[in-house]
Structure 1
Amino acid sequence: MLEIVYENNWFSVAKEENWHYLIEKKSSNGAVILILEDNKNFILIKNYRKAINKVVIELPRGYGEINETSLETAIREAYEETGYKIDKKNICKLGSINPNSAILSSEVDIFFAKVSINDRIKGSDLEVIDIIKIDKNNIKQFVINGEIKDSFTLSALHLYDLNYQN
């Protein structure tokens, strides 16, 4: 029998038999977006993550708003965190992931968008420390060097490789 042992605005802790796991309340329309500018640079952000007490390099992502699709979430998060306005015709879904299937019940969609430097029409919001551009030919070195460790970002880059690389 499922029992909720703790609850707040973002998640519930569920207990079922001997297992505990988190139910993220807004994850059903959460999204991650990999942005490629002018077929040259991936657009990433630097963000402070309290849980690991570090500044990390990651992709824009977030929970969806009420009545928002994951596609709409991806477009909104890209705009809020990077300032890029993405047209729906320039975005596609790469796949979905379960970020940590041992303790999270969530599934998050991963999107890919092509943009032009002219599509950046504003600065980022206050959630983001910095916006960084990494040449698509050098991105793997950031992973190998341990500069990119975020699981959403690693998953998105892998799905991109599977879909677009030879």
Structure 2
Amino acid sequence: MEYQNPWFRVVREGAYHYVDEPGAQAGAAVLPLVGDMVWLLEMRRPAQQGAVTWEIPRGYGEAHETSQQCALRELREETGLLAAPAQLTRLGKVRPNTAILTSCIDIYLAKLPSNHPPHRRDREAERIVKIPIKALPRELAQGKLEDSFTLAALSFYWATLR
């Protein structure tokens, strides 16, 4: 092992390095669809050197948490949307970068009614961006969507649930 912190460790195998994320085992990402509006988080991540991205809620699983429980928690924490397990559909899984990351994350859809009230959320995201699901192909074509979890969730949605 070359480096370790509470979230990941860098492993060396011969001439190659990869990142192992133990918390990703029950990690999840969730596409929030409230009526016909997708709720995206406007994020400013240090690794993006100040650039702003639009992302779906996501995170590592906590101890003894399933990926479904993680999806519900991340949705609540990051958007303020409270969903029941019956309102989640597992869409698939994504490996964000198979060359250097060991993580494999479950992707969910949270389908909520248009009048679903949000509650208090954390301040990890700068703001919530609400976009009609039908407008997302245009946003994608204009380069506004770059996050691999968001792109995977939309791909699964369009391929299976449209």
TM-score of the two chains, using structure 1 as the length reference:
0.93
- State the match for 1:111 in structure 2: 108
Runs of 4 or more, structure 1, over 6 Å off, are none
Shift of 1:113: 1.2
CA contact (8 A) 2:95 2:105 kept: yes
1:122 to 98, 119, 122: 119
Structure 2 regions of 5+ residues with no counterpart?
none
Let me know the Cα RMSD of the aligned residues: 1.0
- State the match for 1:159 in structure 2: 156
1:55 to 13, 33, 52: 52
CA contact (8 A) 2:40 2:54 kept: yes
TM-score of the two chains, using structure 2 as the length reference:
0.95
CA contact (8 A) 2:79 2:118 kept: no
- State the match for 1:42 in structure 2: 38
Residue 81, structure 1, aligned to residue 71, structure 2: no
Shift of 1:118: 4.0
- State the match for 1:9 in structure 2: 6
Higher strand fraction (1 or 2) = 1
Residue 99, structure 1, aligned to residue 96, structure 2: yes
Count how many residue pairs are aligned between Structure 1 and Structure 2: 161
1:20 to 1, 17, 20: 17
Secondary structure in 2 aligned to 1:156? Answer: helix
* Deviation digits for residues 53-74 of structure 1 (CA, Å, limit 9, x no counterpart): 2111110111111111110000
* Deviation digits for residues 34-85 of structure 1 (CA, Å, limit 9, x no counterpart): 01112x1111110111101211111011111111111000000000111110
Structure 1 regions of 5+ residues with no counterpart?
none
Shift of 1:117: 4.0
The sequence identity of aligned pairs, in percent, is: 38
